[in-house]
Amino acid sequence: MRGSTCAALAVTAAGAVGLGFVAPQAKSIVPSSSMTRTSSASSTAPARSAASSARAVPSAAPVAVAGLGLLSLAGASARRSKKSKKSVVSLRARGGEEDTRVCIPLEELRNTDVEKVGGKSASLGEMISQLSDVGVPVPGGFSTTAFAYKEFLDKGGINEFINDKLSDESIYEDVDKLMKVGKEIRDKIMDTPFQEDFEEELKAQWQRVSGGDEKFTFAVRSSATAEDLPDASFAGQQETFLNVMGYEDMKQKVHLVFASLFTDRAISYRHDRGFEHEKVQLCATCQKMVRSETGSAGVMFSLDTESGFKDVVFVTSAYGLGETVVGGTVNPDEWYVFKPTLAEGKNSIISRTMGSKLCKMIYKAGGGSETVDTSDEEQNSWSASDEEVKALAEMAVKIEKHYGRPMDIEWARDGDDGKLYIVQARPETVASQKKVGVIEEYKMLEKGGTKIAEGRAVGKRIGSGEVNILTSIDQMSEFSEGQVLVADMTDPDWEPIMKKAGAIITNRGGRTCHAAIIARELGIPAIVGCGDATDKVSKGDKVTVSCAEGDTGYIYEGELKFEKNVQDLGELPEVGLKIMMNVGNPETAFAFGQLPNEGIGLARLEFVINNAIGVHPKALLNYDTLDGETKELVDERMKGYKGPKDFYVKKIAEGVATLAASVYPKRIIVRLSDFKSNEYKSLIGGEQYEPDEENPMIGFRGCGRYTDPFFEECFAMELEAVKMVRGEMGLKNVEIMIPFVRTLDMARDVNEVLEKNGLKRGEDGLKVNMMAELPSNVFLAEEFLEYFDGFSIGSNDLTQLTLGLDRDSGLVAQYFDERNPAVMKGLETLIKAAKKKGKYVGICGQGPSDHPDLAKWLMEQGIDSVSLNPDSVIPTWQFLAKK
C-alpha cells in the first residue's frame, strides 16, 4: 500500500514536498526524532486512555524513507488559505509579534522556535533545514504550537483547575496523592474538546503530509517548551504514540499527548528540577513513521555516556522498533567509534559488545505495536553492520558540530529501503555537564566480596542498602528512601521512586535506556541488563552496587565499605619527567584517559586476553578437535565473529584500540602477552596445552614463548592484531614492548619474528621497546639496546630476581622493596645506558606508584617517564611538584 500510494506521485526540485519527506536536493522537510527520549517515530506504541495512569510508552526511532511519492506544495498552500483567520500568523517575521498559528510544518521551524513548538519539534525543523544537505536524513511532518495549547487550556477553563490541584505541596511527598491528582488533571483535559479552528488546521496538516491516505502512519510525540535543555533532558516524561493511522486516530493521540504533560512522572520531574508547571507548554510533533520494525533502530551519543570522553560516538542497536532500546526492554548491541580516525576514513570501530536482544517490537495490523521474541539467528548476529555503524557515527559528528555540544540521538534503519535515518536529537545532559578538572572517584575498600550478579554499569559510583524488589509501579508507596530498587525493568513512570533509591538494578536494558538516563541525571549508581538480578537477590537483602570497576557493574553481598574522593585539580605544574599510566582494562580506559597524563606506559595485553577472550589461543587454533562441552563455552564467547581466529585477533585489536584511543595521539606502550604457564592453563582449553612448572614465574613466559615453535602461531595472531590497530585502524601511537628477554639471541630472534609478521622496527614509525627486568638486562644494557628503541623498566621482576625472591610467596614478602640499594643500582645502570645511547627509558613497575620518593629519585637520575597506577597519578604529580 505504501509503495502504490507513493510511487504514483512525482517530485520536482523546486516545490515538491514528499509525503512526510523532503526531496534530497531541496531544503529538507524530513524531521529528526524528537529531542526528548519519549520515543522516536520508528517505534510503535498502542493508544491508552489518559484517564489511566498514563504510563510512558516511549516510541522507537522514526525513519525517513527515500522513494516515497511527494505532494505539491501548491495544493497544501491552497488548503491553508481556506483556514480560519483565527489561526493565521500576526507577523511571520522572526522577532515580530506573536505567532498565532496552531500548527506549523516542521520544515518551517528552527532551533530558535522552542517557545513556539517545544524542543523536539524545533530541533527536528533545525535538522531538516540545516543538515539534510550534508547527509543527515530526517522524517518530516508538522507540529502543533504552544499558542494552540495555551488557547485550549484557557478556553476550556482547565488552567485554574490545574493550578489549584498542583498548589498542594504534599502531593510531591505522597506518591498516592500524586497519582490521584495526576489522574484528575488528565481526565479534565480529555473531557474538554479541542477548539474548532485548531481541529480544522490539524486536519489540513494531516491531509498535507499523508495525501489523505487513511493508512499513512504517523508518530505523535510530545514536544515541551522546557525539554531537551543542556542541563535537563525530560527523557520520556510525556507520551508518544506510534503507528497512528487516519485523521481521527491522530486527533485522539494529540489529545492524549496534551494530557500527558500531567503524568505523575512529568509532574514530579518538573517539580524536582524547579520548573513552574504553568510555564511549560506542550505541543504534539506529528511525524512520518518508518518501517524499522523489519529493520533495526537504536540510540547513539556523541560522547561516552559514563566517562564523558568526547572523542567517541557510542552507538546502540536492536532489531525492530527503537522503543525496546529506549525503554530498556532489550539489551542492545553496542559499539564505540573513534572520531579522529573516522574523519580519516579508517576502520574506526574500536569496540563492540553483542547484546542478548531477546525480543523486538513490531507493528500490529491496524495500528499499534507488539513485542515478540527474536529468533536464535537474530540473537546471535549483529543488528547493524560495521558500515552502518560508521555511517551513523558520521551523522552524529555532523549533528554535534552543528549544535556545538554533545548530543543524544535516536536513529532507525528502514526495513524496506535499507537506509538509515535520524529521528531525534537533543543535548546530552549529564556527562557533558561535568566540571572540567574535578575528579570524583569511588573505590571499594573491601576486596573479594561475594558477587551476586553483574550487568552494564551506569555511572562510576557505588551505593549500598536494603533490597526492595518491585514488580509494578503500583507498589510505589512500598518503597522507602535509600533502598536499592530491583526490578525487571523500569520506565519513566518510575521516576518518583528512582530519585529515592540508593542504587538501581534491572534485569533488562542497556546504557542508553530511560532508566540509565534518569539514573545518570539523578547521580544514582545503576546496573542494567543483569538478566537474573530479581532471582539472585531477595527483598530485605543488604547489597553493595559497584559501578566503579569499569563497564561491568557488580552486585556484592552485604554492605561493603567504600570511599569517595573528590579533587579539584586546578592547574598542575610541569615536573621534570613525563607521568604516564599503567592501564590494561579497556573498560576503564576512557575514564583514566581524562586524568592528566603523557600516555600509557604499560598496557598489559594479557588483561585483554583474559577478560575479553578467556580462551587459550591453542584451543582456538585447534577448535575442531575440542570436546563438545569446551566447544559450547568457546561458541558462547565468540558470537558475532567469523571464526576462532577472527575472534581472537579482533578482540585483541579492539582492546588495544580502545586503550590507544583513550590517550590519542599520545604514546601507548603495549606489552605483548606475558602469561605464565599456570595463568595460561586457567583459560578455557588451557589444561591440555600447558606444562606443570615448579616455578612459572621464571619459567616458560615472555620472549621465550614468542620464539618457540610451540607458540609461534599463537604469537602471530597477537601481532596480526597489533598490525591491524596500527594499520587499518590508524592508531599509530601504539608501540610494542617485549617482556622477559633473557639473552641477546632472544632479542635478535624476536625482531626477526616481528619482521616476518609485518611489524618491522622503525618501519611506519613503529617503536619496539624492551621490558628491562632481568639482571642480564642490567649487565648487558647497552648491548640489548642495539635491538630495541628503549627500555621500560619492570621494577617488580627486577626486584624479585635481583634479591632472589618469589614475589608470590608471603614467606619472603617482607624483603621485597624496590628501594633496596642493589635494585636502585640496577635502575641507575639502565638509565645511564639508555642516556648514553640516546634511547628512551621509563619505568612501569609498582615502586613509583607506592613510593613517590622513588619517583623523585628516578627524576633526579634523568629518567624520561614513570608509569603509575591511575590512582597514584595525582598524588605523585603533586608530590613531585612540591619538591
Number of neighbouring beta carbons within 10 Å of residue 862: 14
Within 13 Å of residue 787, how many CA atoms lie on the same side as its CB?
Answer: 24
**Which set of grid coordinates corresponds to residue 606?**
594479557
Residue 613 near residue 647 (C-beta atoms within 8 A): yes
Question: Which position among 6, 255, 359, 514 bears the catalytic label?
Answer: 514
Asked if 714 is an active-site residue, the reply is no
Using CA atoms, how far apart are residues 19 and 6, in angstroms rounded to an integer? 8
**Which set of grid coordinates corresponds to residue 243?**
503507528
Contacts for 800-803: CB closer than 8 Å, 24+ residues apart: 800/697, 801/698, 801/773, 801/774, 801/775, 802/775, 802/826
Q: What's the per-residue H, E or C state across 211-248?
A: CCCCCCEEEEEEEECCCCECCECCCCCCCEEEEEECHH
Q: Give whole-number Cα distances, 77 to 68, 81, 128, 213, in Å.
A: 20, 6, 20, 18
- 479 in helix, strand or coil? coil
**Which set of grid coordinates corresponds to residue 651?**
578482540
The DSSP bridge pattern shows strands 451-458 and 349-353 to be: unpaired
b/e per residue, 750-764, with b = 16+ CB within 10 A? bbebbeebbbeeeee
Asked if 514 is an active-site residue, the reply is yes
Residue 67 near residue 106 (C-beta atoms within 8 A): no
Using CA atoms, how far apart are residues 109 and 54, in angstroms rounded to an integer? 29
Residues found in the chain = 883
Which residue spans within 205-332 are E strands per DSSP?
217-224, 240-245, 282-288, 296-301, 312-319
Which residue spans within 630-767 are E strands per DSSP?
668-671, 734-738
State residue 752 phi and psi, 5-degree precision: -65, -40
Report angle CA 517, 519, 523 to the nearest 5 degrees.
120
Residue 559 near residue 465 (C-beta atoms within 8 A): yes
b/e per residue, 21-51, with b = 16+ CB within 10 A? bbbeebebbbbbbbbbbbbbbbbbbebbebe
Using CA atoms, how far apart are residues 427 and 302, in angstroms rounded to an integer? 10
| Sign of the four-CA dihedral 373, 379, 381, 384 | positive
Using CA atoms, how far apart are residues 435 and 813, in angstroms rounded to an integer? 42
CA 591 from centre of chain: 13
Using CA atoms, how far apart are residues 611 and 615, in angstroms rounded to an integer? 9
**Which set of grid coordinates corresponds to residue 11?**
517530485
Q: What's the per-residue H, E or C state across 715-750?
A: HHHHHHHHHHHHCCCCCCCEEEEECCCCCHHHHHHH
Using CA atoms, how far apart are residues 469 and 543, in angstroms rounded to an integer? 13
CA 244 from centre of chain: 31
| Sign of the four-CA dihedral 347, 353, 358, 364 | negative
Question: Which position among 6, 513, 703, 844 bears the catalytic label?
Answer: 844
Catalytic residues: 514, 844
